[in-house]
Amino acid sequence: MAEKFDAIIVGAGPAGNAAAYTLAKAGLKVLQLERGESPGTKNVQGAILYSDALEKIIPDFREDAPLERHLIEQRMWVLSDDSHIGTHYRSDDFNKEPYNRYTIIRAQFDKWFSSKVRQAGALVICETTVLDLVKDDDCVVGVRTDREGGFIYADVVILADGVNSLLAKKAGFHLEIDPKDVALAVKEIHFLPQETIESRFNISGDEGVVIEMVGKITQGMVGTGFLYTNKESLTIGVGCMLSDFKQQKISPYALLEQMKEHPSIKPLLANSEMKEYTAHLIPEGGYNAMPKIYGAGWMIVGDAGMFVNAVHREGSNLAMTTGRIAAETVIELAAQNKPMTAANLALYRKSLDETFVMKDMKKYKKMPEILHKNPHFFTAYPELLNRAAHTMLKVDGVDKKSKEKEIRQSFVGKRSLFGLLGDAFKLWRAFE
Amino acid sequence: MHIVVCIKQVPDSSQIRVHPVTNTIMRQGVPAIINPYDLLALEEALRLKDCIAGTTVTVLTMGPPQAEDALRKALSFGADHAILVTDRAFAGADTLATSYAIAAAIRQIEKKEPVDLVFAGKQTIDGDTAQVGPGVAKRLNLNLLTYVSKIASLDLDKREIIIHRRAEGGVQVIQTQIPCLITMLEGSNEMRFASMDNMFRAARHPLQIWNKDAAGIEDPAKIGLKGSPTVVSKVFAPHAKTIKAEQIDVERKTSKEIATAMLSKLFREHPKLHAEIAKLAG
Amino acid sequence: MSEQNQSIPPVKKAAGRKKVELDPRLIAYKGVWVFIEHERGEVHSVSWELLGEGRKLADMLGVELAGVVMAAPGESGARFCQEAGFYGADLCYLIEDPVLSDYRNEPFTKGLTDLVNQYQPEILLLGATTLGRDLAGSVATTLQTGLTADCTGLTIDPENRSLAATRPTFGGSLLCTILTLNYRPQMATVRPRVMPTPIPAPDTHRTMRIIPHTLGMVETDIISKVLQFIPDNTQNKAQLPFADIIVAGGRGLKNADNFKLVWNLAKVLGAEVGASRPVVQAGWVDTDRQVGQSGKTVRPKLYIAAGISGAVQHRVGMEDSDVIIAINNDPNAPIFDFATYGIVGNAMQILPALTEAFRQNLAAARLAS
Ligand SMILES: Cc1cc2nc3c(=O)[nH]c(=O)nc-3n(C[C@H](O)[C@H](O)[C@H](O)COP(=O)(O)OP(=O)(O)OC[C@H]3O[C@@H](n4cnc5c(N)ncnc54)[C@H](O)[C@@H]3O)c2cc1C
Ligand SMILES: Cc1cc2nc3c(=O)[nH]c(=O)nc-3n(C[C@H](O)[C@H](O)[C@H](O)COP(=O)(O)OP(=O)(O)OC[C@H]3O[C@@H](n4cnc5c(N)ncnc54)[C@H](O)[C@@H]3O)c2cc1C
Ligand SMILES: Nc1ncnc2c1ncn2[C@@H]1O[C@H](COP(=O)(O)O)[C@@H](O)[C@H]1O
């Protein structure tokens, strides 16, 4: 006998967990399906957790969530081939509770989040892949899994199956994802004793540091690198647009290997032991690449809906927020005994528009295009900035005024004055 | 018929890493799985259940509360009941103390329904000892059948079982009486894929969780660290003396040149090998 | 179902690495014993390896080394005892009884347990074979003592005068050394082919003492019956553990067809063929050719590994080879961390080239001689 639920959630990442938790907490009959062995099993990535989005779902998450370090310092590096110029922002304010951002290990975090989902009363079933959405006319009425007797029905299905949602594609909710709309990120976890990490990064206790990097490390491709401190390990990675990888024929692995050899990065990793190498897609197409996010009997949340702010490397918070709001939509409609029609579920989109999620998505909607058209942001500028710093800092008998002139010329030589002005304008427009 | 299957939750040893400094196992992010050999045992039990009407299968594990996941998984494959024996007092148990606790728990199970067969894995992939199975059999006075590759016949009326057992240099065909304890050899079967209904049943099934009293432990001095004669005195990484292989230069060389370079190096540095190979090659 | 408990209960809590005063009742336990395993008229080589190792332990402790032989009359038990002497044993305990004609857990457990209780050895070693592990597990439980499984190293901890048994755990990712402080005997099973086989010394003037013992069991006491023994057909079976040269292939060879390149090289070298687990699982070769943690431990003079990554479970089975040549197209493959020589390249090309080079070299050598 096929079971029927109030809601089925596909996927147990941050988006799916947020949705399942919120629904179950409200007393709905919830089924969550995850294809992995357990939530987050294959997911050994370190990442940054933004407290705000989670607080709105589990206010006291700090009591038992597996958190690594709270961030007190952000570094931004612009790298040339053998140097970097950058900023540090370190604030004691970030050392005041409640902390704002944490590093986490996703495998552990997802497992914890999932245990909360179960405690809230949802039925969580792993190692089960949803193959298809079951439709009655145009309305989604359930799912079909890969197991014998795999049809399960629900009033609404929430797709939280991550980037490149095969289900949404199969159901015709969006087209094949465009390689220029996704970044391929690779990362590794490197183990180091806690004391080494603390002395290398000038931190103590649970304090942590993030380094964001742009420049020659991406070898001319649109992308960024990053390094986070966990309790006993460092997460290092780099991500570039999939289209660029395809075009440049650089393997992501080789890219990361070279990045680790950069003289500014290498000493930070010295004597560490690499634990795991993972690659994952990040949907970075932004607002313009978003699919339709709801319809009769279904909603899309998280990465599956392109909800990522690539500029600020925010994803999980958008995932959790969209998951929560989708759930709240269902709760509200159910309370009023309204069916999950497309017209009614439009409330999901409307509520989202009021949050930072949609506002940020819209704000940066031009960003992907500008970066794509201006690869010199990742090559020429880092080189020029670093050379400028080098010229000014090296004491070699040349007067400072001449040095300034040399720097100016080097910039204009690489890129016309108009080009420089144009770039500034484009970036300003993108951030506007 | 009533079958008890002993399973253990273990870290997936193919993904395990050793902390480079402290030499401790880093379980972080390493998935916990049912010991693969125990799955063979469970599958064999389920096959018996498939062909003998009225058979119930109880899975039993001793471990931390998280071992619940292993039991639920076993239930999803079709086991009928699941018992988790968990208590801080069991921590640090070696195989002697483990078999004591498991034997006690099986006696408790027997109070409800007599046990005809006990299955255990050939060995675990974390401890690798292959001792708990024989230990439990001894304590319960069960006929012990290790390294079983096949159950050839089972006659419940005569209470007689015939199995094939891997021995050094051949296979023994053994006949014995039930109740007995069987450990299954790898390659004997493969785990089934659970149906959706069984997944639901497993997720909702109430587990029996037993502390040391519920498990019928009579002598607390025999469990956990206290009851363990063996003491781990040192743990260390095996491969401290990593010597990087001397690479044969392959730059712009043909395979033939590489092979020639390899041979001359090999025979120059290990002259005795040459005679050895010549002898073998005849 | 009742519990059997025949031994002395523990007297004091074992206490880490600290010096432990042995309970007076346990001081009586003296001597090192090795269980001599035999099958179809031949002693398993692990028993000789253990006598070699046991000799060292006995000398360190200044005690005698004894073999234990259990056999049916007519199974040359006395000869096995004699041979044990050649390999270093001072004496042998011999139980001969018709019920011992095939290995069965019940009579062997009874026999060995009785011997231990009567003669009280401090150390009892068995091979980590299917027989040894079956028997050791039930004997240790009956005696209520500690048993360390599948060891790869044995020595004496000078502080406590106790057996320090080293063994891999977590699939070989770690080694640990285990002591059995306040229980006797200290038992261990030892992995075959890890310890060197001692050279037998038949002309020893030492006289071997044989101490006969009776089993005190009749066939009707024993529930299990061996109906049949189906010997492995030995012609085609790999003798991997004893091979001097092994050519092994892994998943990197991609398919069964390419795996023939391994056989070709082995043929030229007169070598055995080994494989990693995925190769066995894919059915390209028989199970008994698997090298590694769940396969065979080998220690040839030359091990050629083609398309094998060198995962720890494979490594533990072959890292003691004298010379290891690794062929792998990934310069970062872990196998290069412990091979003697590395060739970064495509095995499908390197293997035939090596085969040809060896063929020519050997042909030239034959001509010269
Ligand atoms: C290298 C990297 C670094 C990042 N760093 C950060 C960071 O620091 N901070 C941040 O906020 N964000 C970061 N992100 C983004 C963030 O990880 C994602 O935005 C977030 O995980 C999205 O959550 P989700 O629940 O939508 O999808 P996912 O986490 O991808 O979860 C989807 C789940 O659905 C399951 N699933 C898929 N298909 C099916 C199916 N058919 N049936 C059943 N189950 C299915 C999958 O197994 C998976 O568990 C990073 C991403 C990457 C790749
Ligand atoms: C409990 C347990 C027990 C195990 N027991 C064993 C055991 O006893 N024995 C065992 O072997 N494994 C065992 N394993 C499995 C082990 O973990 C590894 O998975 C296995 O050893 C890998 O085999 P492989 O090197 O052939 O394959 P892979 O790891 O896939 O490696 C293939 C290698 O070939 C290389 N390659 C690819 N193409 C080419 C080419 N054209 N030319 C040259 N090189 C190429 C690749 O770079 C790679 O390094 C066990 C695992 C577990 C969990
Ligand atoms: N904690 C445990 N709980 C239940 N069964 C166990 C436990 N430990 C070991 N076993 C069983 O004993 C077998 C052999 O384990 P080991 O002696 O640790 O290699 C396993 O395959 C299990 O079937």
CA-proximal residue: ligand 3, atom 14 (nearest) = B123
CA-proximal residue: ligand 2, atom 32 (nearest) = C252
Question: In the structure, what pLDDT confidence band is assigned to residue C16 with cuts at 50, 70 and 90?
Answer: very low
Residues C285, C291, C297: CA angle, nearest 5 degrees: 140
Ligand 1 close to Cβ of residue A347 (< 6 A): no
Give mean pLDDT, residues A238-264. 90
Strands (E), B48-167: 56-62, 81-85, 117-121, 143-155, 160-167
Asked if B27 and B169 touch (Cβ cutoff 8 Å), the reply is no
SS3 C175: strand
Which ranges in A262-315 belong to alpha helices (H)?
266-269
Q: Is the pLDDT of residue C12 over 60?
A: no
Cα B48 to ligand 3 centroid, rounded to whole Å: 21
Tell whether C260 lies on the interface with B, counting CB pairs under 8 A.
no
- Give the pLDDT confidence score for residue C151 in this predicted structure: 94
Q: Is the pLDDT of residue B240 over 60?
A: no
Q: What would the pLDDT profile of B123-149 be if each residue is shown by its tens digit? A: 998 888 999 999 999 999 999 999 999
Q: Which residue ranges make up each domain of chain B?
A: 2-222, 241-282
Q: Does domain B2-222 have CATH number 3.40.50.620?
A: yes
Tell me the two tokens of residue B28: 């972080």
Q: How far is CA C155 from the centre of its chain?
A: 16
Side-chain-facing half-sphere of A302: CA atoms under 13 Å: 27
Give the integer Cα–Cα distance in Å for A257 and A248. 16
Cα C309 to ligand 2 centroid, rounded to whole Å: 5
Ligand 1 close to Cβ of residue A167 (< 6 A): yes
Ligand 2 close to Cβ of residue C109 (< 6 A): no
Side-chain-facing half-sphere of A192: CA atoms under 13 Å: 25
The residue with greater pLDDT, A301 or C196, is: A301
- Min Cα separation A193/chain B (Å): 7
Q: Is the pLDDT of residue B238 over 80?
A: no
The chain A residue lying nearest B204, using CA atoms, is: A123
- Min Cα separation C315/chain B (Å): 10
Identify which ligand lies nearest to the alpha carbon of A40: 1
Instruction: With CA atoms as reference, report the closest residue to A358 among A308, A396, A393.
Output: A308
Give mean pLDDT, residues A236-265. 91
Identify which ligand lies nearest to the alpha carbon of C278: 2
Give the integer Cα–Cα distance in Å for B46 and B55. 9
Q: What would the pLDDT profile of A43-100 be if each residue is shown by its tens digit? A: 656 689 999 999 999 999 999 999 999 999 999 999 999 999 888 899 888 999 899 9
Question: In the structure, what pLDDT confidence band is assigned to residue C293 with cuts at 50, 70 and 90?
Answer: confident
The residue with greater pLDDT, C27 or A114, is: A114
Cα C304 to ligand 2 centroid, rounded to whole Å: 14
Q: Which residues of B touch A230 (CB under 8 A)?
A: none
- Give the pLDDT confidence score for residue C14 in this predicted structure: 41
| Interface probe, candidates A197, A199, A275, A277, chain B, greatest B C-beta count within 10 A | A275
Asked if C146 and B230 touch (Cβ cutoff 8 Å), the reply is yes
Q: Is the pLDDT of residue A417 over 70?
A: no
Tell whether B142 lies on the interface with C, counting CB pairs under 8 A.
yes
Question: What does DSSP say about strands C225-231 and B170-177: parallel, antiparallel, or unpaired?
Answer: antiparallel
Q: What would the pLDDT profile of C41-67 be if each residue is shown by its tens digit? A: 889 999 999 999 999 999 999 999 999
Helices (H) and strands (E) in chain C, counts: 9, 18
Identify which ligand lies nearest to the alpha carbon of C317: 2
Q: What would the pLDDT profile of B206-230 be if each residue is shown by its tens digit? A: 999 999 999 999 999 999 998 999 9
Instruction: With CA atoms as reference, report the closest residue to B118 among B137, B100, B132.
Output: B137
Instruction: With CA atoms as reference, report the closest residue to C259 among C248, C271, C244.
Output: C248
Question: Within a 10 A sphere around the Cβ of C348, how many other Cβ atoms?
Answer: 17
Q: Is the pLDDT of residue B241 over 60?
A: no
| Interface probe, candidates B199, B201, B204, chain A, greatest A C-beta count within 10 A | B199
Ligand 2 close to Cβ of residue C313 (< 6 A): yes
ipTM (interface pTM): 0.79
Enumerate residues lining ligand 3, CB below 6 A. B 6-8, 35, 37-38, 60-63, 95, 98, 102, 120-121, 123-124, 127-133
Mean residue pLDDT across chain A: 89
Give mean pLDDT, residues C186-211. 86
Q: Is the pLDDT of residue B24 over 70?
A: no
Cα B62 to ligand 3 centroid, rounded to whole Å: 9
Cβ contacts of residue A399 below 8 Å, gap of 6+? Answer: none
Distance between the two ends of chain C, CA-based, in angstroms?
A: 71
Taking CB atoms and an 8 Å limit, are B31 and A41 in contact across chains?
Answer: yes
Question: In the structure, what pLDDT confidence band is assigned to residue C1 with cuts at 50, 70 and 90?
Answer: very low
Cα C249 to ligand 2 centroid, rounded to whole Å: 9
| Alpha-carbon distances, residue C283 vs B122, C234, C258, C305 (angstroms) | 22, 20, 13, 18
Give mean pLDDT, residues A329-347. 97
B197 closest CB neighbour out of A149, A271, A276: A149
- Min Cα separation B218/chain A (Å): 34
Give mean pLDDT, residues A252-264. 92
Give the position, in ligand 3's atom list, of the atom nearest the Cα of B119: 23
Cα C49 to ligand 3 centroid, rounded to whole Å: 29
Ligand 1 close to Cβ of residue A17 (< 6 A): no
Q: Is the pLDDT of residue C148 over 60?
A: yes
B203 closest CB neighbour out of A108, A123, A275: A123
Q: Which residues of C touch B235 (CB under 8 A)?
A: 174-177
Tell me the two tokens of residue A316: 């999980």
Taking CB atoms and an 8 Å limit, are A273 and B20 in contact across chains?
Answer: yes
Q: How far is CA B165 from the centre of its chain?
A: 17
- Min Cα separation B208/chain C (Å): 23
Say what the pTM is.
Answer: 0.81
- Min Cα separation B280/chain C (Å): 5
Instruction: With CA atoms as reference, report the closest residue to A201 among A233, A235, A226, A229.
Output: A229
- Chains with 3+ CB–CB pairs under 8 A to C are B
| Interface probe, candidates B15, B25, B28, B30, chain A, greatest A C-beta count within 10 A | B28
Give mean pLDDT, residues C73-98. 94
Identify which ligand lies nearest to the alpha carbon of C171: 2
Cα A33 to ligand 1 centroid, rounded to whole Å: 15
- Give the pLDDT confidence score for residue A383 in this predicted structure: 83
CA-proximal residue: ligand 1, atom 35 (nearest) = A11
CA-proximal residue: ligand 3, atom 8 (nearest) = B8
Question: In the structure, what pLDDT confidence band is assigned to residue A309 with cuts at 50, 70 and 90?
Answer: confident
Domains detected in chain C = 24-221 (3.40.50.620), 240-368 (3.40.50.1220)
Ligand 2 close to Cβ of residue C293 (< 6 A): yes
- Min Cα separation B241/chain C (Å): 9
Taking CB atoms and an 8 Å limit, are A125 and B204 in contact across chains?
Answer: no
Taking CB atoms and an 8 Å limit, are C178 and B23 in contact across chains?
Answer: no
Pocket test for ligand 2, best of C150, C279, C314 (most atoms within 8 A of CB): C314
Between chain A and chain B, how many beta carbons pairs sit less than 8 Å apart?
A: 53
Q: Is the pLDDT of residue B17 over 80?
A: no
- Give the pLDDT confidence score for residue C4 in this predicted structure: 40
Asked if B26 and C173 touch (Cβ cutoff 8 Å), the reply is no
Q: What would the pLDDT profile of B177-200 be if each residue is shown by its tens digit? A: 999 999 998 777 788 899 999 999
The residue with greater pLDDT, A277 or B242, is: A277
Give mean pLDDT, residues C336-359. 94
Residue C79 phi/psi, 5° resolution?
-65, -40
Give the integer Cα–Cα distance in Å for A105 and B27. 13
Taking CB atoms and an 8 Å limit, are A152 and B196 in contact across chains?
Answer: yes
Share of residues in chain C with pLDDT > 70 (%): 92
Cα A303 to ligand 1 centroid, rounded to whole Å: 6
